[in-house]
Amino acid sequence: MENRIFNKEMECMSRKDLESLQLERLKALVDYCEKNSAFYAKRLAEAGVTADKIKCLSDIEYIPYTTKDDLRDTYPFGMLSVPKEKIVRVHASSGTTGNPTVVAYTKEDLENWSEQVARLAMAAGANESTMVQICFGYGMFTGALGLHYGLEKIGATVVPTSSGNTEKQLKFMRDFQTDAIVATPSYCMYLAEAARGMADKYPMESYNLKYGILGSEGSTPEMRAEIESHWGNGFFCTDNYGMSELNGPGMSGECMYRDGLHINEDHFLCEIIDSKTLSVLDKGSTGELVVTNLTKRGLPILRYRTKDITNINYDVCKCGRTTARMHKIIGRSDDMIKVRGVNVFPSQVESALIGIGGISPNYLIVLRREGFSDSMEVRVELTDGSLLDNYGELVALQKRIHDNIKNILGIEIKVTLVEPNSIERFTGKAKRVLDLRNENK
């Protein structure tokens, strides 16, 4: 894979120059928020912060954190900093109870976003002669359109197949001789497995896939190795991180050396904090990632608590980029799980069970990797064991629970009704998720 850099000036800047650019952008952002955002003007005034108070990067600590709840509480447009007519795109997070988190972009925000994604896509191996199939679902999710415009910016040929329709995906891959795929690691694996299943008709050599720009969910090194060996022919994949609140994909991604995810630091100022004490930790420590989007204007984000756990390495990479690299996501400081690319909170399952007679509030979510895709089973306890003998009633109850949960999460699940008192009880925090996805790997 060739080592090409999309924006050398920004990606290979000296740390001193980068930090002064970040400081300049941070001051401008605080000033902008004071003047244009009713939400932040109030927050900043309460904390006694003005742009003049920011004299060095660590002065960011004067600024209060922003959380997902802030976005939900101000749903849909309470955090906009421009009149609505200046907004040219809106996205929203997947699968949340109550109000989703809505994010909005001005024209300038979209240009910055495409630039951020273009840099990471090139770091991942794409260039103007790449034909790339985007297998993320097009829609309110940021993954597909984010990669789409970033890849077009570098001149790659985008094939917007979206997710699903496996046979068609594979047909296009063979017929177009697609070079690269954009997908979640699990969908990439699923496609590889499906391709192998048809190998008697279409041998693996009929594909030309060279690399995968993967992201939106984590993958262990073992899983990555398995995906690569399933595609074979030297297939190589990189990990890409982002979140809707921070534009979407484009925040960080791996280069060919795969030794951490390069952060677009001229746009994203990162801190690592202790999730319990909320204090900022020393450079190199592991903790919760907090990000300020220095250039976002439609819906600015100051010190956003991502709840994702990682650490940041500031050494210069072998690829020549000077941008810091974050470790692959190690975990979450809350209980969010990602299932087939969708964000799921156990509390959503809980809310789906409320009001249904004949079941107790005890449930267990069991996650498995089945046929290289995630499967989610929800075990729910009956209050009356005799129901187990009444097939008709049991099936009706199961269907009601299934439909309630599916409506809220938007993904297919399996519901299993179990005997009274058969789900483990906890004296402390209940463990509601049994994640078996990396077992036997």
User: Interface with ligand DLL by CB under 6 A: which residues?
Assistant: 93-94, 142-143, 215-218, 239-244, 248-249, 306, 308, 329, 338, 343
- How far, in whole angstroms, is CA 53 from its chain's centroid? 33
**Which residues are CB-contacts of 231 (< 8 A; sequence separation ≥ 6)?**
192, 195, 204, 207, 209, 212
State the nearest-atom distance from the C-beta of 336 to ligand DLL, in Å: 6
Q: Does the CA dihedral 21-27-33-36 come out positive or negative? A: negative
Q: By C-beta, is 93 or 264 nearer to ligand DLL?
A: 93
Q: By C-beta, is 79 or 417 nearer to ligand DLL?
A: 79
- DSSP code, position 323: S
CB 23 within 8 A of CB 53: no
Q: CA 343, 345, 350 angle in degrees (round to 5)?
A: 140
CA terminus-to-terminus distance, the chain: 27
Q: By C-beta, is 115 or 217 nearer to ligand DLL?
A: 217
* HEC profile of 278-290: CCECCCCCCEEEE
State the nearest-atom distance from the C-beta of 329 to ligand DLL, in Å: 4
Q: CA 282, 283, 285 angle in degrees (round to 5)?
A: 70
Q: By C-beta, is 231 or 345 nearer to ligand DLL?
A: 345
Q: By C-beta, is 49 or 103 nearer to ligand DLL?
A: 103
State the nearest-atom distance from the C-beta of 114 to ligand DLL, in Å: 14
Q: Where are the beta strands (DSSP E) in 211-336?
A: 211-215, 236-243, 248-254, 261-263, 268-273, 287-293, 304-310, 312-313, 325-326, 331-332
User: What is the C-alpha to C-alpha distance for residues 372 and 82, in angstroms, rounded to an integer?
Assistant: 44
Q: How large is the greatest C-alpha to C-alpha distance in the chain, in angstroms?
A: 72
State the nearest-atom distance from the C-beta of 390 to ligand DLL, in Å: 41
State the nearest-atom distance from the C-beta of 184 to ligand DLL, in Å: 8
- Could you tell me which residues are beta bridge partners of residue 374? 369
State the nearest-atom distance from the C-beta of 344 to ligand DLL, in Å: 11
Cβ-closest position to ligand DLL: 215
- Could you tell me which residues are beta bridge partners of residue 159? 133
State the nearest-atom distance from the C-beta of 328 to ligand DLL, in Å: 6
Q: CA 215, 232, 259 angle in degrees (round to 5)?
A: 45
Q: By C-beta, is 218 or 260 nearer to ligand DLL?
A: 218
- DSSP code, position 220: -
Q: Does the CA dihedral 271-274-275-276 come out positive or negative? A: negative
Q: By C-beta, is 96 or 178 nearer to ligand DLL?
A: 96
User: What is the C-alpha to C-alpha distance for residues 210 and 414, in angstroms, rounded to an integer?
Assistant: 35
Q: By C-beta, is 173 or 344 nearer to ligand DLL?
A: 344
User: What is the C-alpha to C-alpha distance for residues 199 and 193, in angstroms, rounded to an integer?
Assistant: 10
State the nearest-atom distance from the C-beta of 143 to ligand DLL, in Å: 3
Q: By C-beta, is 10 or 145 nearer to ligand DLL?
A: 145
State the nearest-atom distance from the C-beta of 381 to ligand DLL, in Å: 29
Nearest to 346 by CA among 380, 372, 369, 308: 380
State the nearest-atom distance from the C-beta of 104 to ligand DLL, in Å: 14
The number of C-alpha atoms within 13 Å of 375 and in the hemisphere containing its C-beta is 9
3-state helix vs strand vs coil in the chain, percent to 5:
35, 25, 40
State the nearest-atom distance from the C-beta of 240 to ligand DLL, in Å: 5
State the nearest-atom distance from the C-beta of 76 to ligand DLL, in Å: 16
Q: By C-beta, is 239 or 265 nearer to ligand DLL?
A: 239
Q: By C-beta, is 242 or 300 nearer to ligand DLL?
A: 242
Q: By C-beta, is 54 or 408 nearer to ligand DLL?
A: 408
